[in-house]
Structure 1
Amino acid sequence: MMSFTVIGTPFSTFTRTITLGLHYKRGKEGTLKLRESLAIVRYLDRVAPQPTLCISAGDGRALIEEQMWEFVSMVASHGFPAIEFGVVKPRMALTDEGKATDAEIRESINTGVNRSRRFLTIIEEAMSPEGYAFGEKLSWADFFLYPLLADLRAIPEGELLSERMLAWMESMDKLEAVKATTPGTLSAGARPS
């Protein structure tokens, strides 16, 4: 069994993506240094191909594997800034500061909420109507999206999550990898240090 060391805070959504994959693949520590999430997950798939977190043609809505990587890219490039920097982090900073009312906080993050709403609509349209992001097969798409939506669900703006997204999250919550990576996250009540 390959083993790995992850250097990052559990509060980080990208750190959680990597640790979700490692828990799923049962890896623990190593010496190679990679810094970017996409490079790390591609490496993990190469050195620990089973259980796979890639999709194949015919897995749910997927015609080709690149659809999963496109999904991952949209989450990292558009979802992360919209949800984390537009909603979650500003909400938490203002809440922790304790000076603004909920109405003032909502007004302050309204632009981020609107961007997040658009992102969620687009990403949900790319998902299979049930099951994981691409149907019955768990993939990197799920592990990239879950940390963002777990943070969103932990704050009042979690009301943006549709029934489909909430059902998907409930199925994700049952995974041992998700349970193992929950401590130290916003959904467990942690705050950035």
Structure 2
Amino acid sequence: MTPPPFTVIGTPFSTFTRTYKGITFSQVRVVPYPDTAYEHQPFGFLPTLVIHELNGQKVDLILRESQAIASDQSPTLTIAVVAEQMWEFVSFVGAYGFPALEKVKPRVAATNQATLSDAEICRTIAPAVAQLRAFLDKIETHMSPEGYVFGEKLSWADLFLYPLLVDLRAIPEGEILSPWLVGWMDKMDQLDAVEKTRADTLSVGARPLSSLVLLGNTVTSV
């Protein structure tokens, strides 16, 4: 049997490793910043896409490659101005949303290991929660008042924002989600692509391969 032409280097519990188009790939399951990640991306970013037919070329812009593979299925907006707004929104989520959420996620490890009381956890991650709340407040002003992020049509903006917020919803800090964002997530939950990729994600209780310890504002593998 011919192996898939693509490999995704990514965390086993991550809701970020989802597929909307159903493109076949194999996955190397690693936690953040191991040697394996640096072998495929100079800064150890996850997830990273390995395209085998291009002599092992490593590409972390997974979205662009998926556009080329199955362009007819791409949830891209066609009106030029709105399309530019969509890509700007995707940039906001990637540059500010994911990093903000990562600073909150150590609550999962600390809760599992019972190393800190809930009050201590809340106090430790309070600055990160404030940063994430500010991000959500700003991002919501760029969203349509109804439907998907940009109205009636599903777009990449929705597919990039959803994994971030579904992870947030899985922890107590999800209480900072506004009623509108909660309603939008309920709508996204009904998508076939979401249903098919829900298993083994943080949103359903999956956890990384190694345990993590919360130390101040840092996360350390043990």
Alignment TM-score, normalising by the size of structure 1: 0.84
Corresponding residue to 1:176 among 192, 211, 216: 192
Q: Kindly tell me: are residues 9 and 28 of structure 1, through their superposed partners in 2, closer, same or farther at Cα, counting changes over 3 Å?
A: same
Q: Which runs of 5+ in 2 are unaligned?
A: 26-50, 210-222
Cα separation, 2, equivalents of 1:41 and 1:104: 39
Cα separation, 2, equivalents of 1:130 and 1:154: 24
Cα separation, 2, equivalents of 1:13 and 1:128: 24
Cα separation, 1, equivalents of 2:178 and 2:99: 20
Q: Structure 1 residue 130: deviation in Å? A: 1.1
Q: Which has the higher contact order (CA 8 A, sep 6+)?
A: 1
Letter in 1 for 2:172: P
Contact 1:56 1:64 (8 Å CA) reproduced: yes
2:182 is the alignment partner of 1:166 = yes
CA offsets 1:14-47 (integer angstroms, 9 cap, x no match): 323xx2x2xxx232247455431xx221221123
Find the counterpart in structure 2 of residue 71 from structure 1.
89
CA offsets 1:82-117 (integer angstroms, 9 cap, x no match): 112x212x1112112202111111100000000000
Higher helix share: 1
Q: Which runs of 5+ in 1 are unaligned?
A: none
| Paired-residue identity, % | 52
Q: Structure 1 residue 6: deviation in Å? A: 4.1
Q: Structure 1 residue 66: deviation in Å? A: 1.6
Cα separation, 2, equivalents of 1:146 and 1:4: 27
Cα separation, 1, equivalents of 2:140 and 2:197: 24
Question: For 1:165, what is the secondary structure of its paired residue?
Answer: helix
Contact 2:188 2:194 (8 Å CA) reproduced: yes
Contact 2:14 2:202 (8 Å CA) reproduced: no
Alignment TM-score, normalising by the size of structure 2: 0.74
2:59 is the alignment partner of 1:35 = yes
Find the counterpart in structure 2 of residue 26 from structure 1.
22
Contact 1:45 1:53 (8 Å CA) reproduced: no
Find the counterpart in structure 1 of residue 37 from structure 2.
none
Find the counterpart in structure 2 of residue 96 from structure 1.
112
Q: Kindly tell me: are residues 128 and 6 of structure 1, through their superposed partners in 2, closer, same or farther at Cα, counting changes over 3 Å?
A: farther
Find the counterpart in structure 2 of residue 15 from structure 1.
17
Find the counterpart in structure 2 of residue 114 from structure 1.
130
Cα separation, 2, equivalents of 1:31 and 1:44: 15
Question: For 1:87, what is the secondary structure of its paired residue?
Answer: coil
Rg larger in structure: 2
CA offsets 1:115-172 (integer angstroms, 9 cap, x no match): 0000001111111111111111111111111111011000000001001100110011
Contact 1:11 1:192 (8 Å CA) reproduced: yes
Contact 1:133 1:141 (8 Å CA) reproduced: yes
Q: Structure 1 residue 4: deviation in Å? A: 5.5
CA offsets 1:53-96 (integer angstroms, 9 cap, x no match): 11122xxxx83312111111111110001112x212x1112112
Corresponding residue to 1:139 among 155, 172, 175: 155
Cα separation, 2, equivalents of 1:15 and 1:35: 15
Cα separation, 1, equivalents of 2:130 and 2:153: 30
Contact 2:15 2:202 (8 Å CA) reproduced: no
